[in-house]
Structure 1
């Protein structure tokens, strides 16, 4: 009898493991999609959407993080600012950034993805250009506040857009594309800054001014690409033929619990505000973002503190960022392939812990530079996979929109902290704080894994009829056949 019960449970798990909503066999037949044709469809979707999404996020992160490149190029002297005022300029960005993330995510469907993303991109592009003409620290504060307000909506909206296109088990790779762009923006930003700083004196303008002006003009072009490249309804995109649109309809039918109603619901928002997964994820994101914003903004300064000159401290960041992007893509593929999230973040964080310990304890600059490669693994993998972990475990749409927006708000407050802890070379306070954040994140991840496992176990007992279902939430991701990813 015990063996029979075990076998039946194994069979139940096998029947649900490959399906994002674990629908019945009758529903599977109704929304059947040929696996061979689906592979071709995914390739087509990636080819159409991924370059546009990556390009706009590259533009966003480039315009946000170039302040780290220009610091070592004389901006403080030209606008008569102190190191303390510079740290304030880095932090003040997040004062508006964290305020507008949740509203943007919730309003995306109503305003439409095309309108909201194009508008945000156009405004922050103009702001970046204007930054190249500031003459005092007040101007820097103003442009950073506007930049924060505009860029706030981009990341939650792009993540939400991805959930409208891809299945749960397909999302980590696509989120990895976004965070790889954060890494690539560091590499590209370092390379571009290295080139643009050679324009120092052209038309009587300092090289750091040309960094802002040229990168802002690039972002204007990206805004145009976004307008024409991201359809409001990805299931009826212009590049899909009739058969492919039907396949998209079937894919959406298979994951209807995950997508949910198109109609706005305050009840879904209230449900999500009581979800422990949201707050655990937000705390983890805060810890991981301490690294992300400290590392991506101050890496050139950290390298300069190792006695590299201005140009070296910019171009030496390039291979570090590229390494971070490559490792993230590999671990994201593993995460999707085996549908594991938390353990991947913990694995990446081990490298970060070792890296920060080396930065704090060794004296040889070569070893310190090697340590930045170890840090880069945790810097990008941690926030990206943690966000995916939340994406795939919250449903339906407006519950997920609330979760993404609030999680990002909680996490991105770390940007204000990063600006205050990385104040002066050799940045022992910043690196020590980052190390502590990593260790605390490991503890929080263990706690969330335990919670998710417990919730899955409760659902299994309810499905087997062992206990009565007395849970408060039984819809969306609360459905007993909705399996949370660990």
Structure 2
């Protein structure tokens, strides 16, 4: 028998191709293949180099277009369109009305519409909407653009998240989700710097500086649509930059995680199972609590700093170190989470820093200490949100069940955006900060409960596998299979 360079028979390489007539046989053959670790690492590096920059830039532009409303507030945008404080808060919140309504549908539709089509079209529409926001003259126009922006951006995170599951194994995902979520933090830093620079364009072309913020950032998002179309193939296993052996390795990896990915066929039964899954509700409650911080902190940080006595330009500049710090910490923690396959303990530990930070914001008057508190909150804000997403990712199977649960988790979580816009009303945001502190306490209780639940489920599976107890569970497919071990 002829042998390939990595030790696998060439006949096996030829057999591991798409063949709907014998999927079980192919999966069995793939399970016996041990890929060369060095070649697999080289493959992962190539995938990261090709996909991660596009995914990061796209999510960066998305978060910029969503959160720049906080940067322009200190540049007199509300006054220019005659918006009251309550109307501006409504504009912040109204984005999440369409956002939460469209997340789950976009996630479920991605397979049918294909990743390239759905992501490119959504990116084009929200780019144009952002550009047009630079020309609005009334509160009604701001409401309209925020609603359209929410409907389009709703599909980005769940679809990109699902795309990562098409490329990487369970134990490789937390790190890649960290790249994605760190862009939320990086967008804060970039947004602060961009706002600082673009606000200096005040008066150019007869337009206020805040209008240039929307126009320039919208044009940047339009460029991302081009990158998506040419850079994200619908089938990552057949990407243009992979050679023949690497494509074979991708097919092997796909077959080895077939139980995780599941069937490509849509199933209403999987939708029903997803809707009754306790893991969805644990994760959704955690996401809601953590998103209170994400949207309150990322949207209103410039104004929080303004309340400390800084002017509008300096308020934007001082956000930059906070966001860079938050992004670096998140990536470091996500690397550890991937390496040790732990989520609950890392989320719980990260939240402690946020609790301390909000206590300082609520009780201390010293400006230096208050600024230090924002760094503590930054550790929690992005780390816990991102790890919670990855935590659900790796514990749900098969594919359509995962798609709906990810979409619904994001829907539940992003309802926090509606709440954040209402509790963060007037500086120094005592109500908003107190609400965020309470949300963190609830999150801690739920994280602990979720971890104990998954641990108990694993113990039940072990007892069933050893014959200690009879399997009387109602659901036994997908992630409920005895061989599927939950990660907590």
Shorter-chain TM-score: which interval?
A: over 0.9
Q: Pick the aligned partner of 1:96 from 85, 95, 98.
A: 98
Structure 1 match to 2:156: 154
Q: Please list the CA deviations of residues 373-422 of structure 1 after superposition, one character each: whole Å capped at 9, or x if unmatched.
A: 00001100111000111000000100100110000000000000000011
Q: Distance in 1 between matches of 2:217 and 2:476?
A: 48
- 1:30 CA displacement: 3.1
- 1:28 deviates by 6.1
Q: Residue 183 of structure 1: SS of its match in structure 2?
A: helix
Q: Provide the rounded CA distance (Å) in 1 between the counterparts of 2:301 and 2:120.
A: 30
Identify the residue that residue 75 of structure 2 maps to in structure 1: 73
Instruction: Report deviation, 1:266.
Output: 1.0
> What's the CA shift for 1:329?
0.3
Name the counterpart of 2:349: 347
Which whole-Å CA distance do the structure 1 matches of 2:33 and 2:51 have between them? 24
Moved more, 262-271 or 204-213: 262-271
1:31 shift after superposition: 3.3
Take 1:411 and 1:274, find their aligned partners in 2: how far apart are those partners? 17
Q: CA deviation at 1:351?
A: 0.3
* Aligned residue pairs, count: 464
Alignment of 1:97-246 (within 5 A): 97-246=99-248
Q: What stretches of structure 2 of length at least 5 have no aligned partner?
A: 1-26
What is the match of residue 435 of structure 1? 437
| Structure 2 equivalent of residue 374 of structure 1 | 376
Partners in 2 of 1:173 and 1:312 — Cα distance?
Answer: 33
Question: Counterpart of 2:141 in 1: which secondary structure?
Answer: helix
Q: Check 1:172–1:286 CA distance in 2 against 1; reply closer, same or farther (3 A cut).
A: same
Corresponding position of 1:258 = 260
SS in 1 for 2:273: helix
Q: Is the 8 A contact 2:30 2:252 kept in 1?
A: no
TM-fit CA distance, 1:87: 0.3
User: Which residue pairs with 2:327 in the alignment?
Assistant: 325
1: CA distance between counterparts of 2:33 and 2:360? 53
Q: Partners in 2 of 1:114 and 1:307 — Cα distance?
A: 46
Tell me, what secondary structure is at the counterpart of 2:348?
Answer: helix
Match of 2:289 among 280, 287, 290: 287
C-alpha deviation, 1:364, in angstroms? 0.4
1:32 is aligned, of 31, 34, 37, to: 34
1:94 is displaced (CA, Å) by: 0.5
Distance 1:373 1:166, change over 3 A: same
Contact 2:164 2:173 in 1 (8 A): yes
Mapping of residues 50-69 of structure 1, within 5 Å: 50-69=52-71
In 1, the alpha carbon distance for the partners of 2:369 and 2:470 equals: 58
Q: Report if the CA contact (8 A) 2:31-2:256 is conserved.
A: no
Q: How far does the alpha carbon of each residue in 1:24-55 deviate from its partner, in whole angstroms, 9 at most, with x for none?
A: x9756533211110000000000000000001
CA separation in 1, counterparts of 2:274 and 2:182? Answer: 29
Instruction: Report the counterpart of residue 364 of structure 2 in structure 1.
Output: 362
Measured in 1, the distance between the counterparts of 2:74 and 2:456 equals 50
Residue-by-residue CA offset, 1:42-74 (whole Å, 9 max, x unaligned): 000000000000010001000000000000001
1:277 is aligned to 279
Q: In the alignment, what sits opposite 1:335?
A: 337
SS at match of 2:242: coil
Q: Is the 8 A contact 1:31 1:251 kept in 2?
A: no
Matches within 5 A, 1:402-481: 402-481=404-483
State TM-score, norm by structure 2. 0.94
Verify the 8 A CA contact 2:93 2:418 in the aligned structure 1. Answer: yes
Contact kept, 8 Å, 1:27 with 1:254, in 2: the verdict is no
Q: Give the unaligned 5+ runs of structure 1.
A: 1-24
C-alpha distance in 1 between matches for 2:62 and 2:33: 38
CA distance in 2, matches of 1:323, 1:377: 8
Q: Which residue of 1 aligns with 2:15?
A: none
- Whole-angstrom distance in 2 between the partners of 1:300 and 1:158: 28
Q: 1:469 to 1:404 in 2, by over 3 A?
A: same
Instruction: Show structure 1 runs of 4+ deviating over 6 A.
Output: none
Query: 1:162-221: per-residue Cα shift (whole Å, max 9, x none)?
Result: 000000000001000111100000000000000000000001100000000000011111
Q: Secondary structure at the match of 2:342?
A: coil
Aligned to 1:49: 51
The answer as to whether partners of 1:320 and 1:373 remain within 8 angstroms in 2 is: yes
Q: Structure 1 CA distance, aligned partners of 2:216 and 2:281? A: 40
Q: TM-score, normalised by structure 1?
A: 0.94
Give a deviation string over 1:224-263, Cα, whole Å, max 9, x none: 1111010000011111110000000000111110011111
